[in-house]
Chains A and B, each alone.
Chain A
Amino acid sequence: MAAPSLPVQSPSVVRARARALTTALSDRGFSIVTIGTVALIVGVPVAFMVVSSFRGPGTVLPLAPAAEWTGENYAEVVSTTLVSTAGDTLVFVLGSLVVAVGFGLPLAYLLERTDLPGRRLLLLFLFAPLLLAPITNAQAWSVLISPETGLLNQVLRLVLPVERGPLDTQSALGMVLAQGFTYVPMVALFLGPALANVDAPLEEASRTSGAGPLTTFRRVTLKLLAPAILSVTLLLAVFLLGQFEIPLVFGIGSGLQPLGIVIFSLLNPPASVPSYGQIAAYSTLMTTVSYALILGYGFLTRRGDRFATVTGKGHRANLTSLGTWRWPAFIAVAGFLLLTAGMRLFVIVWQSLLPFRGPVSWEAFTEQASLDAYRRVIGDSRFLEAVQVTAIVSIGSAVITTLIGLAMAWVVARSGSGRIRRRALDLLASSSLAVPSPVAAFAFLLLFLALNQFLPLYGSMFALMVAYCFRVGVAYRMSSAALLQIGSQLEEASALSGGSPLTTFRRVVLPLLAPTIVVLLVLGLVTGINEFTVPLFLSSQGPQPLSVYTYGLLSNQQQSAAAAAGVLTLVTVLVMAAAAAWAGRRLRGSSR
């Protein structure tokens, strides 16, 4: 029997197949490397923390020879402070959400969907405080709502018949209001696009049926926005679970003691080694709650299409006329922003010029104001070191986060990777958003401490850089959105013209993605500069970043110097934002 003859293939077919195989292999390798990197940054610290929560005794590092498997950490946590912490955290999160959404939603509506005058200026005012470092923002609120001398209280007392307050840093209300107002711009930021996409004819139909603007907003707009509001609320709830700058600066006493404060306190017990096991148990329980919220957020986002009104068929998003209410509405919005945003910026500058805290008055200004605090800060070698550390870590983490975010988006959108790999990346991205900041910071601390014998990263700038990349999920989501907007035909055309994947990426995709990359880099930089929780937990060795340096001044009773450092940080961020906006415009122009 004659042996079957192998089909003869032309050299070009062989080459094409070889290239396809190489592409497939490099595709596979790339996606595996990407997943591995994200797992190292996001998955490993959290998984290690969960495992550590079952290691005891709590005061021993989880990999130490004396450590054993135990459930005692959970028993201890449940029997001591879990209930009170959960209660305080719930009040803190829910209260802040009510304030943030309660004020943010109408504000976003007025700014997005009405003919309110001066909207651009008002938007600028609304978003400006987002650039304040969280620790400086907390200081600003603490100065602003001091019961006796706080500027906001001084103003409120002009119209309210009270002798003291009415706001107080030491009341739950004060804390919740400060945190809630801090989040108002984020609500407006997240809900703005959803509001802009509500189809106007539906609202017009409501109005022609005799409903007033308020009824239309309540019965039409609000219902259409319900999924967006709920998903934004869930996302903010996750962020709020990890907020602790305001409670930390306001002080511990009659106010609330939410999760972040409790973890920080447990990590710094007086005159004893912290119980890592108990903190890990605490953190694991809280992360579970946070994960549930993120899953809910994901569910609502996916089901959002049921409420879609942007259909591509005659979609209009007309502005609603406020009629005679235009100017009263303007005064209300401007007044609100002046009280909550403008005053925050003002008191920080004010405090940086005055030696001590006190009431705002012309007399105090003329008698005491000076630039001494700025001279002191700029002349402090630790400040210059802090600037250096902040620059290195922020730039490094911004670059790493951007690269990983892009790689993740590429794997999911373009590489043709399997469903499991895509799901794995999505899960990791969600995880990076779901873990509250103090928990993430503690997870890294624990990991670096425990592994230090084998991998001496603890205390290094590289460790900080890696930990700063934890929120890579944000970069991934933004990159995905940008990548999905670029039609794959362009890449196919490049490939057909003989362009290798690398050439296609470099010459086709990269220029189109450039504006997004700039935004990601700037976002990473600003986040890095303002990051507080991670370096507070991690940087015990050598120079510290600006945020921790500022907190050091604050906790060392040097309010003016802390405010000056905050102002200098803000100026740096503003300059960077302006430079990025300029670069973004240029890149968008050239990519067109």
Chain B
Amino acid sequence: MPTAPHVVRDRHRARAVAMTLAAIALVAAACGNGDDGGGSAAAPDGDVAGAVFAGPAGSAEEGLEGLYEAAVANGEDTVILAVSTTSAEIYGDLAAAFEEQFPEITVELKEMDFIQMGSVVQSELDAGQRTADVVTNAFLALKPMIDAGSIDESIDWSAMGVPDERVAEAGFVFQADGLCTTVVYNPDVIDEADLPDDLEGFLESEWSNQLSTLPSNGVACMGFYALREGLEETTELVEGLRDNGMIFTDDAEQLMLAGERPVIVFHYSITAPRLEEQGAPVAEKLYPGTGVFRTRVAVVEDTPVPNAARLLTAWMVSPEAMEIFEDYHQGGQGFVGDPDSMLVTRTEALGQDPTDETFFVYETIDNFADRAEAASTFRELFVG
């Protein structure tokens, strides 16, 4: 459908304003307020771990306002955001905050198991269905969309006021990091000292029927381990764990808390802090090969609401949104490159420096396909 001339004019105006403001912000940043960034963490991998949180960008709000005006002028009143079921609550909070700030746009959440997201959205795009306008997930989960070229890579996020350290490859912006915590356990049942020194230790008979993992997150986290140890070795490990009675279940945390299966292997860092808050017996241990997944946000190619989708995406990495996000997660997710991030504090309390490339494995645009392949292999070990 042709776009009305006034809308095109509005879009151009908004873009021009955003670009100007972004340029001013860049100049201001270059003039040296580096201390505000609060980050001088050494970056072993400039692409991922080295992203340093730089604080609010002066131009962001102006850029957002421009996008909002354009979205309203274009009649873009609803934007669909695909989120992982496990994160639906926090994205509900974020959506509410967004709607409060931009009252003429409604955010509709499209919830699904995290590993299905790319597949479901891509299938719906193939079927010509109105689907998600914005997706938020790790590269791994969005692989079918990336492979099909369904992510809008043409957007210049910097020009829209998104801080540089939040701008990622392939049209994405960074939202937050999380850990594929290798072991989460019930300290009322298991003494930390009794945990083996490496994951192979869990192949011993004393751990028989003591282990579980989540169906989707488990294989995704095993994928990180495979990036470090090799697919063959990790497959052998996973087969051994399976033969030692490890199960894939959505009930993993409850089984762990009840002491039924007190150890979750290859868990993720999101829920443990919240369980701790509720007074549940939960502790974590990191092993070499712990993965760092990065939640990224992107606009779906040819979305019918381009301005609203860009606005939501850019807003989701704004300081205001990130504050809500980090408060909710209490260290379960944060920004590895930001020393003030609760995730960093939490990881350091577990005895590790989250920027230590020799210990952690980071998801990048170059390795996510290998991780996906590994994840498929591990899934097949349990379900043919």
Contacts and interface: CB of A to CB of B under 8 A. Distances in A.
A139 B110 CA distance: 25
Interface string B188-218: 0000000000000000000001001001100
B124 A357 contact: no
Interface in B89-145: 92, 108, 110-113, 115-116, 118-120, 122-124, 126-129, 131, 140-141, 143-144
Contact of B383 (A265, A272, A540): A265
B258 A254 contact: no
B142 to A, nearest CB: 8
Interface in A243-294: 249-255, 257, 261-262, 265, 268-274
Contact of B245 (A64, A80, A253, A269): A253
A358 B189 CA distance: 13
A542 B110 CA distance: 6
Nearest to A268: B116
Nearest to A139: B251
Nearest to B250: A555
A268 B119 contact: yes
A36 interface: no
Given A85-B384, A148-B260, A450-B127, A557 B254 contact: yes
A265 B382 CA distance: 10
Interface residues of A, number: 54
A452 interface: yes
B249 A148 contact: no
Interface in B43-93: 85-86, 88, 92
**Residue of A170, A250, A382, A542 with most chain B CB atoms under a 10 A cut-off:** A170
Interface string B244-272: 01111111111101111000000000010
Given A458-B129, A542-B108, A273 B119 contact: yes
Interface in A533-566: 540-542, 544, 552, 554-557, 559
A590 B162 CA distance: 72
B321 interface: no
B376 A356 contact: no
A528 B129 CA distance: 25
B247 A452 contact: no
B305 interface: no
Given A265-B383, A458-B124, A272 B258 contact: no
Interface in A363-414: 381-382
B3 interface: no
A148 B188 CA distance: 15
A357 B245 contact: no
Interface string A72-84: 0000000011001
Contacts of B128: 452-453, 456
Contact of B143 (A268, A272, A358): A272
A253 B248 contact: yes
B257 A556 contact: no
A269 B128 CA distance: 21
Contacts of B209: 147, 170
A255 B245 CA distance: 10
Nearest to B82: A540
Given A61-B127, A268-B115, A540-B124, A170 B259 contact: no
Contacts of B111: 544, 552
A472 to B, nearest CB: 26
A537 B320 CA distance: 36
A452 B127 contact: yes
A459 B112 CA distance: 13
Contacts of B278: 355
A147 to B, nearest CB: 6
B375 interface: yes
Contacts of A149: 258-260
Interface string B34-45: 000000000000
Contacts of A541: 110, 124, 129, 131
A540 B372 contact: no
Given A84-B384, A452-B128, A452-B129, A251 B250 contact: yes
A358 B113 contact: no
A122 interface: no
A147 B111 CA distance: 33
A146 interface: yes
A458 B123 CA distance: 11
B228 interface: no
A272 B369 CA distance: 10
A251 B247 contact: yes
Given A251-B212, A253-B382, A458-B127, A271 B258 contact: no
A147 B258 CA distance: 11
B258 A449 contact: no
Contact of B115 (A147, A262, A271): A271
B26 interface: no
A142 interface: yes
Nearest to B254: A357
A378 to B, nearest CB: 15
A39 B120 CA distance: 28
Interface in B207-238: 209, 212, 215-216, 219-220
A557 B249 contact: no
A463 to B, nearest CB: 11
Contacts of A358: 257-259
Contacts of A450: 127
B156 to A, nearest CB: 28
B258 A148 contact: yes
A262 B382 CA distance: 10
Interface string A181-216: 000000000000000000000000000000000000
A255 B382 CA distance: 10
Interface string A141-179: 010001111000000000000000000001000000000
Closest 5 A/B residue pairs (Cβ): A251-B249, A253-B247, A81-B384, A271-B372, A555-B250
21 contacts: A84-B384, A148-B258, A250-B249, A252-B215, A253-B242, A253-B249, A262-B384, A270-B219, A271-B143, A272-B144, A273-B119, A273-B122, A273-B144, A357-B258, A449-B126, A456-B129, A458-B129, A544-B111, A556-B85, A557-B252, A559-B254
Interface of A: 61, 64, 80-81, 84-85, 142, 146-149, 170, 249-255, 257, 261-262, 265, 268-274, 355-359, 381-382, 449-450, 452-453, 456, 458-459, 540-542, 544, 552, 554-557, 559
Interface of B: 85-86, 88, 92, 108, 110-113, 115-116, 118-120, 122-124, 126-129, 131, 140-141, 143-144, 209, 212, 215-216, 219-220, 242, 245-255, 257-260, 271, 278, 280, 372, 375-376, 379, 382-384
Given A170-B245, A253-B246, A540-B124, 16 more contacts: A147-B209, A253-B249, A257-B383, A268-B119, A269-B376, A270-B140, A270-B376, A272-B372, A355-B278, A357-B260, A453-B127, A458-B127, A459-B129, A552-B111, A556-B85, A557-B271
